[in-house]
Amino acid sequence: MLTVPGFALITGAASGIGRATALAFARAGAAGIHLADRNSVQLLDAIDEVKSAATNPDFKTSMSGTDIADAQQVDTMVSTAMKAFGRLDYAANIAGVLETSHPTAELPIEEYDSVMQINSRGAFLCMRAELAAMRAQQAVARLPSRPAVRGSITNMGSILGHIALPTFTSYVTAKHSVLGMTKAAAATHAQEGIRVNAVCPGWVETELSKNSAGATKEWESILAAVPMRRMASCEEVADVVLFIASEYASYVNGAAWTIDGGRTVV
């Protein structure tokens, strides 16, 4: 059975994929999880659910209401997790936003900036602070015949980091940048015992996707291009995050794992 016996930090943990990821880590034996999100009310509810799901008898939680586009708030988030747990073994940077549909020529600059601030800058700020914390801690060997490591980071990419979707310029641009920073960090910090990877979901059934502009009208045509003819569940994405983060994926580094029901192969 896959286990993650260390301490984790998960952003976007109040709902959707982030919440499902926190639950997956709790069920897999995590020693503690720091949950971060802008929505502090939903975050409190998520913590209760995560505590109930935990299988480690010594399980701990901490939390922070964090805007990941704010460097000071991100640094506080990571320092709070370190104070609570003493180390950080896994980080899953799930937080992000969607955008409304615009032809590139009509895209409001303010909306472009807003999406990039969270989905690109926010991912970078989180990864930067997490790397600093992991570099400063001792490497630990958790599985036989595997090397001692300092930690692993998993960023939230998208299949739109590989391909484009018309009228979603900001999101496509941001997700391409996430894959770039993931690869650069993976190459830079591998010899320090830190792995950095990304997951690249296709269409996922979340509150964000349900409420996106024109969702009802557009989803039928979008899913017609998916061989499995459905969206992923949040849990299906979370389980891949869990595996990549774990020591069972100890030779996976700089990867961008596609979770899209076959969308990008047709």
How do residues 90-137 score in pLDDT, each as one tens digit?
Answer: 999 999 999 989 999 999 999 999 999 999 999 999 999 999 999 999
How do residues 36-77 score in pLDDT, each as one tens digit?
Answer: 999 999 999 999 999 999 999 999 999 999 999 999 999 999
Residue 219 confidence (pLDDT): 76
**HEC readout, 200-258:** EECCECCHHHHHCCCHHHHHHHHHCCCCCCCCECHHHHHHHHHHHHCHHHCCCCCCEEE
Residues designated as active site: 171, 175
Residue 215 confidence (pLDDT): 57
Helix (H), strand (E) at residue 10 = strand 7-11
Please determine, looking at this structure, whether the domain spanning 7-260 carries the CATH number 3.40.50.720: yes
**How far apart are alpha carbons 266 and 259 in whole angstroms?**
14
CA 5 to chain centroid, in Å, comes to 19
| Per-domain residue ranges of the chain | 7-260
How do residues 8-17 score in pLDDT, each as one tens digit?
Answer: 999 999 999 9
Taking CA atoms, 124 is separated from 64, 70, 74, 121, 174, in Å, by: 18, 11, 10, 5, 11
How do residues 205-214 score in pLDDT, each as one tens digit?
Answer: 987 666 665 5
